[in-house]
């Protein structure tokens, strides 16, 4: 810390009393008339007077300068004391020449004890010495903005406090390097807070992943229920047909054996009637056709599902939106809402760039929510879906005949975990995930209540040319 003592070495001593102007010559002076006349004395006295005035003026100027110096020193002192960053000035040998209050507090030592000690003595670990040396060299080499280095200082309680230092060379008036200035910020608290924050963030991310996973499993569950329902129908009539074919096969075998066994024509005709061979033959084409159709439908369903997973992996492909809406309605109906009336007319092909699987997830969420709300509210749950295609955007609007969204909930329905459904029914993640997906596709998802009643969801997406 700056010492105030001795700051004013040139300060003149107390002013001497001014000799009276025009006083008689000093007693040791030869009496007038002994060679020096009165005029000469007057001249000397006048000169003395002038010199004295000059002396007084100089002294006043010096005092003013001194006061200014003290003021600026006080100012620098207050700056150093007020700085929350630590400051150390070292000489060419690395010994401390100047410190500030923040460093004294951090190191738990008086300014006077720190002055003159090597900076290296303040380091908490010897391993940091090469780092300090390298940073000093880097600062000397003229690194822009000085050299930056993190050094562990020995803190008041003996604990190491990491400090981020910025080191710049210090020069004298002639521009010669006389040492370095280090300004640093203790990072201990900040680093601890940062680590705690990062851990919390990681934990949050893990939980979010788990929740996303459980929401995915829930959507998958709905989809699988729909797929199972969808497959059940064709598979059951394929099975029925195959059983019938098996029976027909037995009858045909019996008849053919009789024919080849060489019985008479009447017996063969009787057997043909008994085994209803003609009806069997007439029925065969439709049985085969039905079986083929059932198998074909099964293959189509599987193919449709496969197409989604493939497009999902490719991520960015043009997706035809009419088809996505159609499939969303289809799967929600197959899953939980067979009696859902949906007013929807597919328009001409209209594409957006993105993932078909994700867009299907959004639409299925919206259709499922509409069904959940409308079926609670009305005996005839109904949904109206329209698609407006402008040259560069498309707008899907879904309005239902449910109770609508309470004004107090309008601002919260897109929040993760917000649900008004009973525990175990809703995850409260559907809309939040859908919102994210639509945003990733460069669009927006909004909700309000329709004038006719019911909730209205609007999906806007950028349109691209269909391939």
Binding footprint of ligand ADP on the chain (CB under 6 A): 365, 369-370, 373, 400, 402, 405, 409, 413, 418-421, 426-432, 455
Output 77 or 418, the one with its CB closest to Mg ion.
418
Whichever of 323 and 416 has its CB closer to ligand ADP, that residue is: 416
Helical H runs in 315-429? Answer: 321-335, 356-377
Decide which of Mg ion, ligand ADP, none touches 358; Cβ closer than 5 to 8 Å per partner kind.
Answer: none
370 binds, among Mg ion, ligand ADP, none (CB under 5 to 8 A by kind): ligand ADP
Backbone angles phi, psi at 328, to 5 degrees: -60, -45
When CB distances are held under 5 to 8 angstroms depending on the partner's kind, the choice from Mg ion, ligand ADP, none that residue 400 binds is ligand ADP
CB count in 10 Å sphere of residue 256: 11
From the list ligand ADP, Mg ion, none, pick the one residue 324 interacts with, judged by a Cβ distance below 5 to 8 Å according to partner type.
none
C-alpha span between 122 and 110 (Å, rounded) = 13
CA distance 38 to 24: 10
Q: Does 100 bind Mg ion (CB under 5 A)?
A: no
Task: Determine if 402 is a binding residue for Mg ion (CB under 5 A).
Answer: no
Choose the contact partner of 364 out of ligand ADP, Mg ion, none; CB within 5 to 8 A by kind: none
Among the listed residues 99, 355, 369, 382, the single contact to Mg ion using CB under 5 A: 369
Buried-state track 331-358, b at ≥16 Cβ within 10 A, e below 16 = bbbbbbbeebebebeeeeebbbbbbbbb
**Nearer Cβ to ligand ADP, position 290 or 403?**
403
- Of residues 179 and 402, the one with the C-beta less far from ligand ADP: 402
Task: Return the range that interacts with Mg ion (CB under 5 A); candidates 96-104, 144-152, 382-390, 425-433.
Answer: 425-433
- The minimum distance between CB 427 and Mg ion, in angstroms, equals 7
- Shortest Å, Cβ 341 to Mg ion: 19
How far apart, in whole angstroms, are the C-alpha atoms of residue 381 and residue 374? 5
What is the number of other CB atoms lying within 10 angstroms of the CB of residue 198? 10
Closest to ligand ADP by CB, 99 or 432: 432
Q: Shortest distance, CB of residue 398 to ligand ADP, whole angstroms? A: 8
Closest approach of Mg ion to the CB of residue 366, in Å: 8
Contact partner, 413, from ligand ADP, Mg ion, none, Cβ < 5-8 Å per class? ligand ADP
- Which one of ligand ADP, Mg ion, none interacts with residue 421, CB within 5 to 8 A by kind? ligand ADP
Closest separation between CB of residue 323 and ligand ADP, Å? 23
> Could you tell me which residues come within 8 angstroms of residue 205 by beta carbon, excluding any fewer than 6 positions away?
none
Contact 317, 308 (CB under 8 A): no
Residue 455 touches which member of ligand ADP, Mg ion, none, C-beta under 5-8 Å by kind: ligand ADP
Give the closest residue to 290 by CA, choosing from 231, 334, 235. 235
Q: How far is the CB of 316 from Mg ion (least distance, A)?
A: 26
**Binding region for Mg ion (CB under 5 A) out of 162-170, 283-291, 368-376, 408-416:** 368-376
Span between the terminal Cα atoms of the chain, in Å: 77
Among ligand ADP, Mg ion, none, partner that 373 touches (CB below 5 to 8 angstroms by kind): ligand ADP
CB 438 → Mg ion: shortest distance, Å? 15
* Alpha-carbon gap, residue 197 to 239, rounded angstroms: 60
Q: How many residues of this chain bind Mg ion (CB under 5 A)?
A: 2
Supply 379's token pair: 């005996």
Instruction: Quickly tell me which residue has 């009336």 as its tokens.
Output: 341
- Pick from 402, 430, 443, 454: which binds Mg ion (CB under 5 A)? 430
Residue 352: helix, strand or coil by DSSP?
A: strand
The smaller minimum CB distance to ligand ADP, of residues 182 and 398, is found at 398
| Shortest Cβ 370–ligand ADP spacing (Å) | 5
428's contact among ligand ADP, Mg ion, none, with CB below 5 to 8 A by partner kind, is ligand ADP
Query: The tokens of 448 are what?
Result: 């309000």
* Three-state secondary structure of 248-304: HHHHHHHHHHHHHHCCCHHHHHHHHHHCCHHHHHHHHHHHHHHHHHHHHHHHHHHHH
The backbone torsions φ and ψ at residue 437, rounded to the nearest 5 degrees and listed phi first, read -65, -45
Q: State which residue, 185 or 377, has the beta carbon closest to ligand ADP.
A: 377
Q: Which long-range contacts (CB under 8 A, 24 or more apart) does 435-438 make?
A: 437/358, 437/359, 437/361, 437/362, 438/362
Shorter beta-carbon distance to Mg ion: residue 361 or 369: 369
CA 396/CA 23 separation, integer angstroms: 113
Tell me: does residue 146 bind Mg ion (CB under 5 A).
no
Question: What is the SS3 assignment for 465?
Answer: coil
Query: Which positions lie near Mg ion, rule CB under 5 A?
Result: 369, 430
């Amino acid at each position: 810390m700056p010492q105030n003592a001795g700051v004013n070495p040139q300060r003149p001593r107390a002013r001497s009393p001014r000799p009276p102007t025009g006083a008689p010559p000093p007693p040791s002076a030869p009496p007038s008339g002994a060679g020096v006349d009165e005029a000469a004395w007057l001249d000397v006295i006048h000169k003395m007077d002038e010199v004295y005035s000059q002396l007084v003026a100089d002294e006043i100027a010096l005092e003013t300068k001194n006061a200014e110096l003290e003021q600026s020193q006080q100012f620098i002192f207050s700056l150093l004391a007020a700085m929350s960053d630590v400051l150390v000035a070292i000489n060419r040998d690395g010994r401390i020449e100047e410190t500030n209050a923040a460093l004294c507090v951090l190191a738990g030592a008086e300014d006077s004890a720190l002055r003159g000690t090597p900076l290296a003595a303040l380091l908490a670990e010897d391993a940091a010495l090469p780092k300090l040396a390298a940073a000093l060299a880097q600062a000397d080499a003229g690194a822009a903005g000085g050299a930056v280095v993190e050094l562990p200082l020995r803190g008041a309680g003996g604990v190491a406090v990491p400090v981020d230092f910025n080191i710049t060379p210090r020069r004298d008036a002639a521009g010669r390097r006389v040492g370095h200035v280090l300004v640093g910020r203790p990072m201990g608290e900040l680093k601890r807070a940062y680590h705690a924050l990062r851990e919390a963030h990681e934990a949050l991310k893990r939980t979010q992943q788990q929740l996303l996973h459980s929401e995915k499993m829930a959507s998958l569950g709905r989809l699988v229920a729909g797929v199972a329902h969808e497959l059940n129908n064709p598979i059951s009539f394929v099975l029925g047909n195959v059983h019938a074919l098996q029976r027909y096969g037995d009858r045909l075998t019996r008849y053919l054996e009789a024919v080849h066994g060489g019985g008479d024509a009447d017996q063969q005709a009787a057997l043909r009637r008994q085994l209803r061979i003609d009806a069997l033959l007439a029925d065969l084409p439709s049985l085969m056709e039905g079986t083929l159709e059932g198998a074909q439908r099964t293959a189509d369903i599987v193919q449709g599902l496969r197409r989604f997973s493939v497009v999902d992996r490719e991520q960015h492909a043009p997706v035809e939106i009419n088809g996505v809406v159609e499939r969303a309605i289809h799967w929600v109906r197959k899953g939980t809402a067979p009696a859902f009336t949906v007013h929807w007319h597919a328009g001409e092909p209209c594409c957006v760039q993105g993932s078909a699987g994700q867009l299907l997830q959004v639409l299925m969420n919206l259709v499922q929510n509409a069904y959940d709300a409308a079926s609670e509210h009305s005996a005839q749950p109904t949904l109206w879906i329209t698609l407006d295609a402008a040259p560069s955007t498309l707008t899907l609007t879904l309005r239902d005949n449910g109770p609508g969204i309470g004004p107090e909930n309008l601002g919260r329905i897109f929040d993760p975990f917000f649900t008004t459904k009973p525990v175990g029914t809703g995850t409260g993640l559907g809309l939040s995930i859908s919102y994210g997906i639509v945003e990733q596709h460069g669009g927006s998802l909004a909700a309000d209540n329709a004038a006719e009643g019911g909730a209205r969801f609007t999906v806007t997406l950028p349109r691209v040319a269909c391939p």
